[in-house]
Chains A and B, each alone.
Chain A
Amino acid sequence: GNSVTQMEGPVTLSEEAFLTINCTYTATGYPSLFWYVQYPGEGLQLLLKATKADDKGSNKGFEATYRKETTSFHLEKGSVQVSDSAVYFCALRYSYGKLTFGQGTILTVHP
């Protein structure tokens, strides 16, 4: 079946450090891929997405590239801020709007 695997957390970084959160997927066909972010006490928000191979999604300094050959969609940011502390979810979408999420990665950024 279709599934999403994220790197284990929690991830703890200092401000201005480089961030990578790995995400790989297993799917039939060509799903769309997403990163959602959940700030403390809130619901999820779309961070970025890519709908086909080699597409790069970007938003708020975060980037991820849809790599079909490695079935990956790793999230990166060059310089994290304290305000980036949140839970990050990688997800894929197939069939009628059904999102399949990874297990989430907790990111904590210290000043």
Chain B
Amino acid sequence: DTAVSQTPKYLVTQMGNDKSIKCEQNLGHDTMYWYKQDSKKFLKIMFSYNNKELIINETVPNRFSPKSPDKAHLNLHINSLELGDSAVYFCASSPPTWGAGDSETQYFGPGTRLLVL
């Protein structure tokens, strides 16, 4: 009964390649996020979608493009990978602000460990 799942768990690739990371949540949440965690464990938000609509877009290179085909999925496509893109990428989701769920709590996936060589 995985709540927030990500694929792949590990991704090793060469500089210049294009890769995608997929995220799915089965919690019925409306809002999904992508975070990047660097080698020093620092976490920073990249994007947020609410009901397939982009609502947060931090200062991220435009090589990174999120796509939300429906509110249960938020994928991250990265073009022309660079060494500095090596990190752990976390997907997260949260309930809507209306309704019974706790909209303030975010539920994180297990992370995708990306290594660019």
Mark contacts of A89-111 with chain B using CB atoms, 8 A cut-off: 1 yes-contact digit, 0 otherwise: 10001011111110110100000
Bound form: Cα–Cα A92–B64 in Å: 25
Q: Is the CB of A97 within 8 A of B110?
A: no
Interface residues of A in 54-103 (CB under 8 A from B): 87, 89, 93, 95-101, 103
The prevalent SS among residues of B at the interface is: strand
Q: Is the CB of A44 within 8 A of B56?
A: no
Q: Is the CB of B90 within 8 A of A44?
A: yes
Interface residues of B in 89-109 (CB under 8 A from A): 90, 92, 94, 103-109
| Nearest opposing residue in chain B for A87, CB measure | B41
**Interface size class for chain A?**
20 to 34
The prevalent SS among residues of A at the interface is: strand
**Interface size class for chain B?**
20 to 34
Bound form: Cα–Cα A45–B90 in Å: 12
> Could you give 20 example pairs across A and B, Cβ below 8 Å?
A34-B104, A36-B108, A42-B110, A43-B4, A43-B109, A43-B110, A44-B43, A87-B41, A96-B48, A97-B31, A97-B33, A97-B56, A97-B106, A98-B48, A99-B45, A99-B106, A100-B45, A101-B43, A104-B43, A106-B41
Interchain residue pairs A-B with the least CB separation, the first 4: A43-B108, A104-B41, A44-B108, A101-B43
